[in-house]
Amino acid sequence: MNTVLPLRPAGLPAPVSLAQAFWFWLRLGFVSFGGPAGQIAIMHTELVERRRWISERRFLHALNYCMLLPGPEAQQLATYIGWLMHRSRGGIVAGALFVLPSLLILIALSWIYLVYGNVPVVAGIFFGIKPAVTALVLHAAHRIGTRALKNGWLWGISGAAFVAIFALNVPFPLIVLVAALIGHFGARVAPQVFAPGGGHAGSQQGYGPAIIDDDTPTPAHARFSRGRLVRLLAVGLGLWAGAMGWLVVVYGWQGTLTQMGWFFTKAAMLTFGGAYAVLPYVYQGAVEQHQWLTAPQMIDGLALGETTPGPLIMVVAFVGFVGGWVRQVAGPDALFLGAALAATVVTFFTFLPSFVFILAGGPLVEATHGKLGFTAPLTAITAAVVGVILNLALFFAYHVLWPTGFGGGFDIASALIALAAAIALFRFKVGVMPLLAACGLTGLAITLLPRLIPH
């Protein structure tokens, strides 16, 4: 059995096998709603609080590294924890299962969208889920903020980050850079501001000791090796070159699938700050330059991406599916096959860099664990991210409660669903899946009942 530690102190959770982890990551892939904030909150609840696979401090240390990378940070965090527990295959399992359910669901919904148009049942469920997503993101900001903002200086960094992105429209990468610099220089002047608390983080929060705790030695596979780094980079580049070479041979450089692979390779390197930061680039390339889909279709795809499990950047699978369908990449008699192939190609090139970043860079991050000179910038980044998450909650709230803008009407039904979801999360600690199911059914009832009542 592949375990994390051979010895278990009193109170330590049982070792976790790769098979057990597989089923957890698979389940997570189907319930990871709420965008990165909601997904990180789910992983914190399950892995830090409930299962105690990893301590909060090491969880946040990994999260801070993922925040610095281009790509979906929640998926990268799952890959990192899976790698830390069960080597490279554990990371691949965790990262792939975080994406695969979303890809399959989006392929199915994209087909329904193209063939049947506006489906009342689907629209009704989405109507109820969107306000719940708003409550989930707000709850995530509260949850992470109460743990990460340990003093007034960190609160100040968080507030400044919120003002910067909300009022001044400062790019997220710049906010991360400034926060890192504040942490770097601030730790020299006032190290106590950025120093982590002593003892067991899990014990401090009342969770108990974790399998990978604050003082757990770095596993052998997570220690830095120059040879291992070179091998992983070679494998990653080889996979990319092999896939791109195959597309060029089969479809030519100007082929739709080849151009999709090349375009989304570039997009993957620009996704600093999450999906919303790269959406303008995707819109410009997919809609205006390549014309794989129309502007209204792009907006509909974003709605699907917001209300399905998995990273929000999975909207690229919708772009690929519609583009493959419109361009008939597998011929006019195999529209679905060609569209599904395009969605898969787009997903592969979008997420391949994330696996390389984590599996190759993880040992460097583990080497910085507990060193204030390296952790202080990450602590400051975490504080800034809390402010950014709050901005995301307000962004969702605006689009859900005023769907046609402030000049239009206020959506009372969505507001009531969001309020009920917030009460369920903050007061009654309701799980994410029951909450989304209840809100989805509520939305379905609200939208369908008027159609069923005879006039």
pLDDT score of 346: 95
Are 367 and 224 within 8 A, CB to CB? yes
pLDDT score of 369: 61
Mean predicted lDDT score pLDDT of the chain: 82
Nearest to 85 by CA among 200, 213, 199: 213
pLDDT score of 307: 66
Highest mean pLDDT among 210-224, 264-278, 330-344, 365-379: 330-344
Q: Judge whether residue 341 has pLDDT over 90.
A: yes
Are 183 and 379 within 8 A, CB to CB? yes
pLDDT tens profile 297-313: 776 777 677 667 887 78
pTM assigned to the model: 0.69
pLDDT tens profile 36-76: 767 887 888 888 888 888 888 888 878 877 876 777 888 88
Q: Burial of 299 by CB count in 10 Å (0-12 exposed, 13-18 middle, 19+ buried)?
A: exposed
Q: Judge whether residue 133 has pLDDT over 80.
A: no
pLDDT score of 203: 44
| Angstrom distance (rounded) from CA 1 to CA 94 | 18
pLDDT score of 103: 92
Which pLDDT band holds residue 401 (cuts at 50, 70, 90)?
confident
Q: Burial of 281 by CB count in 10 Å (0-12 exposed, 13-18 middle, 19+ buried)?
A: middle
pLDDT tens profile 418-448: 999 999 989 888 877 788 889 989 998 998 8
pLDDT score of 198: 39
Which pLDDT band holds residue 123 (cuts at 50, 70, 90)?
confident
Q: Judge whether residue 142 has pLDDT over 50.
A: yes
pLDDT score of 138: 84
How is residue 77 written in tokens? 């965090």
pLDDT score of 118: 61
